[in-house]
């Protein structure tokens, strides 16, 4: 029996501002889209220090418990750096454009992510085509497509949707990381391949250097090489990859959320889920799960995300989708959101039985052609929309509202 998703707390319900236009929403969120360089660089320095401390602990603690603790610290630091790489790539951590790129490239290299692939996949495809089949993480297939698969591919697809949620990491390791986060796949336009190959070489060089240190130091000190590699490489990157894949999946897959076959969708914040976790974890991991407001303005820094999300939750129409992260709710999502009927907009199980009927959550908006969406820095005074065409529309709407107020 499916477990009902946790109801959002009162603070996340639509308030008196129900029915706000997108221009009004952008205007109300805009004050949060301001970087504080001191805060941004401090967050980056702390996360780097935590990662370095974890690796040093793995190398020089004599007992296995100390090495495991070091691996856990390094893994937590990678999760934090993962939040910063996302934010810095949007040029939101600090005020300097160059500073953001430095933070993004260093963080991505440590996290074994390719900067050039990230920019195109996340900015150009994900933000422009939120919840569109084929452009996003673990895009659901249809029942006929599932039945047409070979028995091996069906078994693999079923494994990706295992009730425990572990299959989400399996999907990431097999079908996402190799060609979306490391080496450029055929989906990347040719003009970006040379740059992507350079960043792949940087990733490979860092991984080789890290493994080399994790092998050479214990050889020199007489410690266990296996313990060093397992605690200094396998454990931290398992934590990071598992956290990243689970986060990306739950942010846009839910029985209440629609997916689309073509490049048209509800407003992207209506296709995003606010996943609730304990405050101390949320704070430690830079509020990365305060996600719907990120799709209103991608240049809100992590130290303002929680406040901005609270404002959005009070004015958004339809209401922001909220799901508290529990084992029961995770199981509910992965068992109900397996296949999708893009015509009837219905989630289905592997037998073709309907498990959820997500409602339309806003007026359909056509996503502009991908070519328009090369990432660019929004002006500090802009409403925070990332893409040129959407900013122009928002600006015209805001001007019309101002004219009405002056009459």
Confirm whether 4 is domain-assigned: no
Nearby residues of 80 by Cβ (< 8 Å), 6 or more positions away:
43, 47, 50, 284, 285, 286
CA distance 45 to 51: 10
Confirm whether 292 is domain-assigned: yes
Q: pLDDT digit of tens for each residue in the chain (407 aa)?
A: 333 333 333 333 333 444 457 778 888 899 999 999 999 999 999 999 999 999 999 999 999 999 999 999 999 999 999 999 999 999 999 999 999 999 999 999 999 999 999 999 999 889 888 999 987 999 999 999 999 999 999 999 999 999 999 999 999 999 999 999 999 999 999 999 999 999 999 999 999 999 999 999 999 999 999 999 999 999 999 999 999 999 999 999 999 999 999 865 577 888 899 999 999 999 999 999 999 999 999 999 999 999 999 998 888 777 889 999 999 999 999 999 999 999 999 999 999 999 999 987 764 343 344 443 333 333 333 223 333 444 454 455 455 545 544 54
Query: Tell me: the pLDDT tens digits for 58-102?
Result: 999 999 999 999 999 999 999 999 999 999 999 999 999 999 999
Cis ω on the peptide bond leading into residue 332 (within 30° of 0)? Answer: no
Confirm whether 134 is domain-assigned: yes
Range 272-294 burial, b when 16+ CB lie within 10 A, else e = bbbbbeeeeebeebbbbbbbbbb
Confirm whether 3 is domain-assigned: no
Confirm whether 30 is domain-assigned: yes
- Tokens 């001191």 -> residue: 38
Confirm whether 1 is domain-assigned: no
Structural domain span for residue 112: 10-406
Confirm whether 171 is domain-assigned: yes
Confirm whether 348 is domain-assigned: yes
Query: Tell me: the pLDDT tens digits for 92-128?
Result: 999 999 999 999 999 999 999 999 999 999 998 898 8
Nearby residues of 167 by Cβ (< 8 Å), 6 or more positions away:
159, 160, 161, 334
Strands 339-341 and 264-265: unpaired
Work out how many domains the chain is built from and give that number: 1
Strands 273-276 and 321-324: parallel
Give Cα separations from 147 to 154, 156, 168, 343 (angstroms): 8, 13, 21, 17
């Amino acid at each position: 029996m499916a477990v009902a998703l946790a109801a959002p707390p009162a603070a996340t319900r639509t308030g008196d501002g129900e029915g706000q236009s997108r221009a009004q929403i952008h205007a109300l969120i805009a004050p949060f889209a301001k970087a504080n360089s001191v805060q941004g660089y401090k967050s980056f320095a702390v996360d780097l220090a935590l990662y370095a401390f974890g690796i040093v602990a793995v190398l020089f603690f004599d007992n296995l418990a100390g090495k495991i603790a070091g691996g856990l610290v390094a893994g937590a630091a990678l999760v934090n750096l993962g939040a910063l790489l996302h934010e810095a790539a949007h040029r939101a951590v600090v005020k300097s454009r160059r500073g953001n790129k430095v933070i993004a490239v260093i963080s991505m290299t440590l996290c074994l992510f390719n900067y050039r692939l990230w920019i195109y996949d996340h900015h150009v495809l994900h933000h422009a085509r939120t919840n569109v089949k084929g452009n996003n993480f673990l895009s659901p297939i249809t029942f006929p497509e599932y039945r047409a698969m070979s028995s091996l591919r069906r078994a693999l697809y079923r494994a990706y949707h295992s009730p425990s949620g572990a299959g989400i990491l399996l999907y990431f390791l097999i079908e996402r990381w190799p060609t979306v986060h490391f080496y450029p796949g055929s989906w990347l336009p040719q003009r970006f391949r040379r740059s992507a190959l350079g960043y792949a070489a940087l990733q490979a060089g860092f991984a080789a250097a890290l493994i080399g240190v994790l092998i050479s130091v214990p050889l020199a000190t007489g410690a266990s090489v296996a313990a060093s590699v397992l605690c200094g490489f396998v454990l931290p990157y398992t934590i990071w990859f598992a956290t990243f894949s689970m986060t990306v999946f739950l942010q846009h897959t839910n029985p209440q959320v629609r997916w689309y076959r073509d490049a048209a969708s509800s407003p992207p914040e209506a296709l995003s889920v606010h996943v609730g976790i304990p405050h101390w974890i949320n704070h430690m991991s830079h509020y990365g799960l305060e996600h719907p407001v990120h799709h209103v303005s991608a240049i809100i820094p992590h130290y303002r995300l929680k406040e901005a999300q609270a404002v959005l939750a009070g004015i958004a129409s339809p209401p922001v989708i909220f799901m508290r992260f529990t084992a029961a709710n995770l199981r509910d999502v992965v068992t109900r959101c397996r296949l999708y009927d893009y015509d009837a907009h219905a989630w289905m199980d592997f037998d073709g039985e309907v498990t959820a009927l997500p409602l339309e959550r806003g007026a359909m908006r056509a996503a502009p052609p991908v070519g328009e969406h090369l990432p660019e820095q929004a002006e500090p005074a802009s409403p925070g929309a990332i893409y040129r065409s959407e900013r122009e529309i928002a600006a015209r709407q805001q001007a019309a509202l101002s004219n009405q107020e002056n009459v």
